[in-house]
Structure 1
Amino acid sequence: MIAYLSGLFVVTFLPRLSLVWLFVLLLPLSWYHRLRRLILYFFAGVLVASIYGAWQLQHRLPAALDRTDSVFTGIVADLPENNEQRTRFILSVEAGESVDPALQRLRRIRVNQYHLQDEQAKPIAAGDKLTLLLKLHTPHFMQNPDAFDLELHFLRSGWDASATLLEVIEHQPGHNKFQSVREHFRTYLKREFAASDAHWLLPAILLGDRSAMTDEHWLILQRTGTAHLLVVSGLHIAVMTGVGLLSGRVFTSLMLLAGIRHSYLRTLPLLLALIMATGYAALAGFNLPVQRAWLMVCVFLAGEWRLLQFSGWMRWRIALIAIVTLQPLAVIQPGAWMSFAAVALLLFLSDCHRSRHKEWLGQLFRAQWFIFIGMLPVMAVVFQQLGLAAPVINIFTVPIFSLFIMLLPAFLLGVFLEWTWVIEVLVLFIDGFWLLLQHLSQIPGGYHALVKPSVVVVLLLVPLLISLLAPLPWRWKWTALLLFIPLIWPPSDKPSTGDFRAIVFDAGQGLAVLIETQEHLLMYDTGPGYYGGGSAWSYAVEPWFKARNIDYLDHLVVSHNDLDHAGGLSALKTRLEIRRLESGSPIQQQNFLSCHQHQSWEYDGVSFRYLTDMPPVTTNENDHSCVLEVRNADCALFLPGDIRVTTEYDLIRSKRLEPVTWLVAAHHGSSSSSSIAFIDSLLPKAVIYAAGFNNRYNHPVAEVTERFRRRGIEAYNTAEMGAITLDAKAGQCRESVQRQQKRRYWTSG
């Protein structure tokens, strides 16, 4: 099994699937009898993962067809996500008008409908059949340090493109009856429980619809370690399976008491368990985590069905192999390993304590202890937290919530029959349960935020976990606790005195640059905001701060008040404490000071200075931009904001410009900036364009890129390369790009 999993695993780290052929070099090892089986299993894993990856990529919309307009007919395959600005849904394609083979291969498209003009349009619901005019986009998304890999998410979800809805040509409501039932069920729940927390909680645990859950909800669930309760997961499927088994055994007992005997009675509980698990999984949308839980249940039930003499561990291994074969990318999904690790820990607990401590309360405490300890690495990597209170909280909440799930069908029957007392009991339980979690999330010391651990730190935790879970004397366990130190107090990777590191984030058509010295953080611009609401900050920049458990900024510079530079300001101020604020635009109402005063200062041996004079009030907003230079003994970074040619010439005449190492091109590479004289005054070794992929302005424009190319200046573009990291160390100035550092076979571009 390990050899097979290794074959699946190594393919996920290939930068290109064509490199799979290199593994042929291992074939001669199969001549050795002892290695033959391992090599064959390894190649089986490589083959399965490669076929899966090639099949998925074959359907992906090519970059050459990005921003293509085309008409498609299909079914809304899941519950749409709705907010005031946008409706997002998955269109399962049935037909397309284009004869282009690449467009005909599209299977599922994630569509965004923006509510800007047509307020009279009929709402789009799950199960509707639609004929739409779409502007297609290839799955090429922002790539930043520690950020969510949306390109991977599209690949494993089978979404071949994203799109903007331009026109609804035909709309047939309720074409897919099952999906329509789910949509009506959600609408009913939200209407019936509008005044209670049940309006978002019931759709989450019944339908897998988390669109109404806010950041505050997720924060409470993470701090209490109870996210698995309110998101459809293995626990819910397992409880429903248990309900089916219990119901079947009760019914079988009644049949036997009535004198009815048949060989098929033995399979009735298993059949009811499968029906309950399948029905609940289908109602919850059968997404990837639910599919994994359902497959695991099927494997465990199959052993009972055929009276196979399989141990719990054997069934666990079969379920694991089945799932990673059908979903090869599950080998790198934390959710999959969390599910299997939890089951494995419970099996291990059963083996270690089979003949003693049979009291149920002791087993319950021990189970929570095993899961808490065993899940430490996963929780540290995925959530960057150590929930000290989570085991105690789960001891009480898991049984209570499991009982609630078991009784939920009866509750819902009472709701549909409009029994007032049932609705009141349901509301009382849900509101009380959520209020309890809110209070538990505020327990002093119950939650400890962590820096995202490195692979080395996670590997160091393995001996700790073994010693804490194994039946060893406590003196050995206390010694192993020393391995906690790198997790709680990780080694620092901050620049040395006199050095700095800058990250030009891939924020789309906007700018966000973070400059880090040994003890200070300066942010230059906040990334773009969107006219429909929201910004790129939360998914482009914020993950960097979260992974390092940083909640402050020493210095924020908003170059000017345009949406593509200041759009993330509101989200940033919600997340971070800011100690010094400056801007080139008059936004004094937010306590910003002006940067047009030739200030210069030093952070940890690194020099910073502004270069512009106060512009006239009537000046174009772009020319209000703060122009910032960052310099140490060997390297220099120049940030001009969106200044135009007139301001460039003012800077040249002021004789304040000096040669630099890196220049972030003004105005994303627009023709209104980056004049020849300006380039020749700075003489950069590299230019960085902060632009959006296939943006409508065609930034950077050809004439600007040509100016830099003729001078032999190396060019970097966030749209093509992802975030650009600049390391200014003693004696060396180095650049690295995100799409090359973290390149995988599914990475676009």
Structure 2
Amino acid sequence: MRAGLIAYIAGLTLASLTPRPEVSAGVVLAAIAVSMCWAARRSGGFRRKTILLAAAALLGFAWHLLWAGLRLDAQLAPELEGRDMIVGGIVRGLPRRFDEIQQFTFEIRQSEAGFENRRVLLNHYGEEEILAGKAYRFEVRMNRPRGLANPGVFDYEAWLFQRGIAARGYVRGQVEAAPELGTAWLDSLRASIKSEILRLARDPATAGIIVALALGDDSGLTDEQWELFRQTGTNHLFVISGLHIGLICLLAYALTLFTVKRFPALMLLAPAQKIALLPALTAACAYGSISGFGLPAQRALVMAAVFMLASLFNIKQPASLRFLLAMAVVLTLNPLSFLGMGFWLSFLAVAALLLVQRPDPRPTGPTTWLMASLRPQLAVAAGLLVPLLFWMGEVSLLGPLVNIPAIPLVGFCVVPLCLLAACSIPFSETLAETLLQPATWLLQLLLWSLENAVALGSDIAILDRDTPAALTLTLLAAGSLLALMPKGFPGRQLTPLLMLPLLFTPAKATREDLLRLHILDVGQGLAIIVQTRRHTLLYDTGASFSPNASMGDRVVLPVLKKMNTLKLDAVILSHSDDDHSGGFPAIAKTLPINRLYSSFKVPQATGPTYTCRNYINWHWDNVNFRFLHPNTPQETDNDNSCVLQIQAGNFTAILPGDIESTVERNLAATLREQLQSNLLIAAHHGSNTSSSWPFLKMVNPEYVVFAAGYRNSFGHPAMRVLERSAAFTSNLLNTSTEGMISFILTDPESNPQVTSFRKDHPRYWREGSAQFESPSGE
């Protein structure tokens, strides 16, 4: 049975590598798998087991193809992209607000274009408040689900695909109520409870946490709170996860057991332990429903249901079998859930707890109680060490100690108070406010304790390491596994030796390539990472979305972390436009910067700042850097852009920022053949105001890269610019279709190796590399 589940899980996960899942292929493979099972009846022994294992793997593969094929077929057709259409439907979930933007999931029930029975993600820029659970009719303009494609960055397209989002877009014109389309009463109830909690809670600092714990909506948590939770390893306490579902189950089980034992007649019907299982499972389902049944809640409910139903029906199977069955069910419901870090953290934490289960006597004294409390925390810490280092590059050392009091405080005190308050809001505001008050006090106490824990242990709060090599991860995984084994297990004494790599930070290896130039996919904006053998330069930082979110922390920093870059030798902010400099505050706050060049005064600068001028040049590791412009201040911000030329061996690149045709013509007239370059980053994202013929003629590029957003509203790159560029080269690349584009030069005499993230990392849920067209048709 366990081998069959492992084969089924393997088939489910391997199907993610298929280029384009088809429903018909899934049906055919499923039929073959059933036929193999039927044929296995006539075989025996090893052959029969082999056929059944192959059938289980094939069945998992077939189900993934069927599930994915149906979702791909439901996505917005390419011919409907950018078209205005009238749709009617219901708002699902809780809308989220980002400054002036409301974002919400919309279930379309009527559409003039035949695009019904789909869920889409919409933005609304108007003043009307979009209410959860209500029906509306409005005009929308949508595109296919699309995200940014860079290494080390959150896979937004996979996230959309798992949630069944068929398109993204925005509302145009007036919002019209459509009550005849129905309502989603649970979503409306959750929205009203949220607004009442925010109104009744007296402390704004903890009100967002209460909403997160009661309703699964973490939009009210601040960046400072997330950072505090990260340092103390308590992130899992403040978003609904398997821990909360498990604690609610345990609390409901204990209360029911206590009640049943007070009425012995009930135990004549069934053992008290079995009677208590049904209310526990019911409580978990109720908590999951009020939290919106997000993917973490679904995963936790499946795990709880598998383990509890097995006990309820006297299914005497080992815990490992229940564990694999829970994983198989979770992957059946969402075959791509294994892509998320939360999936592995949840199951590995449970696996670690199962491994350290011991038939020890009940704790009697403070010492034995402390050890009994510390053991599961240390087990989870050991089990999650390798995945946290792999995904995050860091582990909280305070986590095991801080979680000992924090888990019962949140799970057995705060969460029940929050849920009771939420349930009492429709009946009595006074009771709800009374219940929220102690929850607020407890959360204030917890936040104060976490802040003091970080202050006392600030030097050891986080074990931060570069992404370890495969060998290091293997050694740490072996050490973690041995640490979870019982005393006397062969080789357990090797655990400290296998953990030694944690104590050492390996010397920074010199990059072998002469030059690496990466044009990041930051949507409608620009960010370029330039690496020599020992130095790293960042040219522009992408845009900002709000005071607390930008392409700097969403894209640039994760990519730099993936590249194991802990400092920047230089940052160049070409000019003050937000799509070029908006991400700088997040980067300056996180990484040390040796030198900053810009064409304007940067208020967030933390070190020496230099104005870029055409007489400045420097050399790093046999690579020459030179500013070509400006020589004097210009009239417009665009024309003030710092124009950088990079020369390594026979390869030259020009990064012109947003200069327009007047500056381009002046450069062409004064520098002439000095402009000749292999690579040109198209000025101003390919706008009609730039990429003039004289400039292109002098540069004569082999490659032109356009850094532009997918189907952006500016129409970049313009068709006339594409036509002019095509007169000099056929190698026209766009970050919106290619993802991050990299030029790698191994030595001075070699030709650059050109790669794109979408082409090198194809995934069926991710739009692949394609020849782009100007969306405006200009």
With normalisation by structure 1, the TM-score equals 0.90
**Which deviations, in whole Å up to 9, do the C-alpha atoms of 1:664-716 show, x marking residues without a partner?**
11121223322333233223221111111112232222232233333344221
Deviation at 1:146, TM superposition (A): 0.8
Residue 650 in structure 1 maps to residue 666 in structure 2: yes
The answer to whether the aligner puts 1:363 opposite 2:372 as a matched pair is yes
Give distance in 2, aligned partners of 1:389 and 1:202: 24
Aligned residue number for residue 82 of structure 1: 97
1:38 aligns with 2:53: yes
Residues 138, 440 of structure 1: alpha-carbon distance in 2 compared, 3 angstrom cutoff: same
Q: Which amino acid aligns with 2:464?
A: A
Partners of 1:146 and 1:547 within 8 A in 2? yes
After superposition, the C-alpha distances for 1:213-259 in whole angstroms (9 at most, x for unaligned) are 122111111111111111101111111112222232233223325x8
**Structure 1 stretches lacking a partner, 5+ long:** none
| Shift of residue 455, structure 1, vs aligned partner | 5.0
Cα offset, 1:64, TM superposition: 3.2
Q: What is the 5 A alignment of 1:625-704? A: 625-655=641-671, 657-704=674-721
Matched position secondary structure for 1:677:
helix
Q: Tell me the distance in 2 between the aligned counterparts of 1:449 and 1:434.
A: 23
Structure 1 equivalent of residue 558 of structure 2: 543
In structure 2, C-alpha distance between the alignment counterparts of 1:530 and 1:477, rounded to whole Å:
46
Q: 2:118 aligns with which of 77, 82, 107?
A: 107
Determine the C-alpha separation between the residues in 1 that align with 2:462 and 2:259.
Answer: 46
Q: CA deviation at 1:738?
A: 0.9
- Which amino acid counterpart does residue 588 of structure 2 have in structure 1? K
Deviation string 1:438-496 (CA, Å, 9 cap, x unpaired) is 222331312122223455543343222222222346642222224546xx635756534
Kindly indicate whether residue 130 of structure 2 is the aligned counterpart of residue 124 of structure 1: yes
Instruction: Give the distance between the partners of 2:246 and 2:546, measured in 1 at CA.
Output: 44
Q: Whole-Å Cα distance in 2 between the matches of residues 630 and 301 of structure 1?
A: 64
Write the distance in 1 (CA, Å) between the matches of 2:228 and 2:411: 19
What corresponds to 1:477 in structure 2?
495
- Indicate the larger mover: 329-338 or 648-657: 648-657
Matches within 5 A, 1:527-676: 527-529=542-544, 535-547=550-562, 550=565, 552-585=567-600, 592-615=609-632, 617=634, 619-655=635-671, 657-676=674-693
Q: What is the Cα deviation at residue 624 of structure 1?
A: 1.7
Larger deviation, residues 333-342 vs 567-576: 567-576
Aligned-pair CA distance for 1:262: 3.1
Matches within 5 A, 1:373-384: 373-384=382-393
Distance of aligned partners of 1:480 and 1:553 in 2 relative to their CA distance in 1, 3 Å threshold: closer
Give the secondary-structure state (helix, strand or coil) at the position aligned to 2:50: helix
Identify if the C-alpha distance between structure 1 residues 57 and 214 changes in structure 2 by more than 3 Å, giving closer, same or farther: same
Q: Which has the higher contact order (CA 8 A, sep 6+)?
A: 1
Distance 1:456 1:718, change over 3 A: farther
Structure 1 residue matching 2:104: 3-state secondary structure:
strand
Counterpart Cα distance in 2 of 1:413 and 1:67: 43
- Give the direction of change, closer, same or farther, for the CA distance of 1:278–1:616 in structure 2 (3 Å limit): closer
Give the CA deviation at 1:360.
4.6
1:4 aligns with 2:15: no
* 3-state secondary structure, aligned to 2:537: strand
Tell me by how many angstroms 1:745 deviates: 0.7
Instruction: Read off the aligned partner of 1:108 and give its amino acid letter.
Output: R
Counterpart in the other structure of 2:439: 426
Helix, strand or coil at the partner of 1:426: helix
Deviations 1:42-93 (A, max 9, x none): 2111111111111111111133322221122222111111243211111122
Q: How many angstroms does 1:436 deviate by?
A: 0.9
1:675 alignment partner AA: S
Question: Contact 1:8–1:331 at 8 Å: present in 2 too?
Answer: no
* More displaced 10-residue stretch of structure 1: 396-405 or 128-137: 396-405
CA drift of 1:589 comes to 9.8
One-letter code aligned to 1:337:
W
Counterparts of 2:200 and 2:361, CA distance in 1 = 49
Of 364-373 and 515-524, deviating more is 515-524
In structure 2, relative to structure 1, the CA distance for the partners of 1:740 and 1:454 (3 Å cut) is farther
Give the direction of change, closer, same or farther, for the CA distance of 1:627–1:203 in structure 2 (3 Å limit): same
- With over 3 angstroms needed to count, the CA separation of the structure-2 counterparts of 1:524 and 1:380, relative to structure 1, is same
Aligned mate of 1:229, from 230, 234, 237? 237
1:662, CA displacement in angstroms? Answer: 1.3
Distance 1:552 1:248 in 2: 56
Check the 8 A contact 1:595/1:610 in 2, yes or no.
yes
Equivalent runs, 1:240-259 vs 2, <5 Å: 240-256=248-264
User: Is 1:161–2:167 an aligned residue pair?
Assistant: yes
Counterparts in 2 of 1:484-523, with a 5 A limit?
Answer: 484=502, 489=505, 492=508, 494-496=510-512, 499-523=514-538
- Percent identical across equivalent pairs? 27
2:317 to 294, 300, 310: 310
Distance 1:139 1:742 in 2: 18
Q: Kindly state the Cα deviation for residue 642 of structure 1 after the two structures are TM-superposed.
A: 1.9
Q: Does 1:133 align with 2:139?
A: yes
Rounded Cα–Cα distance in structure 2 between residues aligned with 1:260 and 1:570: 64
Q: Which residue of 2 aligns with 1:262?
A: 269
Kindly indicate whether residue 355 of structure 2 is the aligned counterpart of residue 336 of structure 1: no
- 2:774 — aligned with what? none
| CA distance 1:148–1:182, shift in 2 (3 Å) | same
1:211 to 215, 219, 224: 219
Shift of 1:534: 5.3
Going from structure 1 to structure 2, the CA distance change for 1:239 and 1:592 (only over 3 Å counts) comes to: same
Question: Aligned letter for 1:324?
Answer: L
**Counterparts of residues 400-479 of structure 1 (less than 5 Å):** 400-404=409-413, 405-406=415-416, 408-409=418-419, 416=428, 418=430, 422-442=435-455, 443=457, 444-453=459-468, 455=470, 457-470=472-485, 471=487, 472=489, 475-479=493-497
Give 3-state SS (helix, strand or coil) of 1:170's partner.
Answer: strand
- Code of the aligned partner of 2:140: L
Q: 1:741 to 1:650 in 2, by over 3 A?
A: same
Q: Structure 2 unaligned segments of length 5 or more: list them.
A: 769-778
Aligned partners of 1:89 and 1:479: how far apart in 2? 51
Residue identity matched to 2:388: M
For residue 81 of structure 2, the aligned residue among 41, 66, 69 is 66
Residue of 373, 377, 399 corresponding to 1:390: 399
Q: How far has the Cα of 1:549 moved from its partner?
A: 6.1
Once the 2 structures are TM-superposed, how far is the Cα of residue 550 of structure 1 from its aligned partner? 4.6
SS at match of 1:578: coil
Q: Once the 2 structures are TM-superposed, how far is the Cα of residue 525 of structure 1 from its aligned partner?
A: 1.4
Further displaced range: 553-562 or 411-420: 411-420
Change in Cα spacing, 1:422 to 1:58, as seen in structure 2 (3 Å) is closer
- Report the secondary structure of 1:608's partner residue: strand
Q: Deviations over 1:590-625 (max 9, x none)?
A: 6743212321111232110011352464x3432222
Compute the displacement of 1:422 (Å): 4.8
Work out which of the residue numbers 155, 158, 172 in structure 2 matches 1:149.
Answer: 155
> Which amino acid is the alignment partner of residue 208 of structure 2?
W
Other structure's SS at 2:285 match: helix
SS of the equivalent of 2:170 reads strand
CA distance in 2, matches of 1:523, 1:687: 19
Within-5 A mapping of 1:315-326:
315-326=322-333
Q: How many residues align?
A: 732
Q: C-alpha offsets along residues 604-659 of structure 1, whole Å, 9 cap, x if unaligned?
A: 32110011352464x34322221111111232221112222332232222236243
- SS of 1:679's partner is helix
Report the 3-state secondary structure (helix = DSSP H, G, I; strand = E; otherwise coil) of the residue aligned with 1:573: helix
1:130 maps to a residue whose letter is: Y
- Per the TM alignment, residue 349 of structure 1 is displaced from its structure 2 partner at its CA by 0.9
Alignment of 1:354 onto 2:359: yes
Structure 1 Cα separation of the partners of residues 562 and 493 of structure 2:
34
After superposition, residues 182-193 of structure 1 pair within 5 angstroms as 182-193=190-201
| TM-score, length basis structure 2 | 0.87
